[in-house]
Structure 1
Amino acid sequence: MELLVASAVGILTAAGIYLILRQRTFPVILGLSLLSYAVNVFLFATGRLAVGAPPVLNKYKEVAYTDPLPQALVLTAIVISFGMTAVVVMIALASYLSSKTDKINMTEEQTAGDDA
């Protein structure tokens, strides 16, 4: 189980970083979303991976339990990342509508042939 979760975090992080390094705005937004998903899975895994265990301690029994704090953090992070993704999409849409291209140009001067 731990290997599966660690692999998922690694794959999401690698795909997110790959997409962030692209020169178009839409893949960058997808990359940021994948990175936030990777962080959410990592935070969720910090609360111990106990399948079928209750999230509440019982003072009469010694049982493995799942920590509820990372679950609350992940729920909050999901809401915040959804809101920030909506803001970034609107900024990218405004940039696309004003410049007629979604290419991220890192140079200071633009030539007329850079539209392709």
Structure 2
Amino acid sequence: MELSIAIFIGILYACGVFLLLRRSIVKVILGVFVLSNATNLIIFLAGGVERGGIGFVNENGEPAAAMSDPLPQALVLTAIVIGLGIAAYILVLKYQYFKVTGTHDLDQLKNTEQK
């Protein structure tokens, strides 16, 4: 299970880096989002993947043997909320960028500076 998730994270990182190297600002923004999600999966995987473990303590006050660590889950949840806020902000910035320059190609931005 962990190996398949690790392979999927590697694919997400490869796609994110590929999108970051594109000329379109839209693809760069999508690359940042993909890298953010891949990083969230790494943090989640670091907490351990346990099947059937509950997140509560036993009647004796001892933690269950197969309990997942709740800290990475809380960190990922916080990162998702922050990522959604950043996504909304970046999309508004991209919209204003397109209104001012009339393009989303980063190479054509040099041509707009000469006008």
Question: Normalized against structure 1, the TM-score is what?
Answer: 0.86
Question: Normalized against structure 2, the TM-score is what?
Answer: 0.86
**Could you tell me which amino acid in structure 2 is paired with residue 33 of structure 1?**
F
- How many residues matched? 110
User: What's the % identity of the aligned pairs?
Assistant: 39
**Could you tell me which amino acid in structure 2 is paired with residue 93 of structure 1?**
Y
Partner of 1:10: 10
SS of the residue corresponding to residue 96 of structure 1 reads helix
Instruction: Flag structure 1 segments of 5+ consecutive residues without an equivalent.
Output: 112-116
Q: C-alpha deviations, 1:77-112, integer Å up to 9, x for none?
A: 0000111011111111111111110011398x528x
Partner of 1:52: 52
What do you get for the CA RMSD once the two structures are aligned?
Answer: 1.9
| Contact kept in structure 2, 1:56 and 1:66, CA below 8 Å | no
User: Which deviates more from structure 2 when the two are superposed, residues 54-63 or residues 38-47?
Assistant: 54-63
User: Which deviates more from structure 2 when the two are superposed, residues 57-66 or residues 32-41?
Assistant: 57-66
Post-superposition offset of 1:55:
2.0
Partner of 1:114: none
Partner of 1:82: 84
What are the equivalent positions in structure 2 for 1:25-104 lying under 5 Å apart?
25-58=25-58, 59-60=61-62, 63-104=65-106
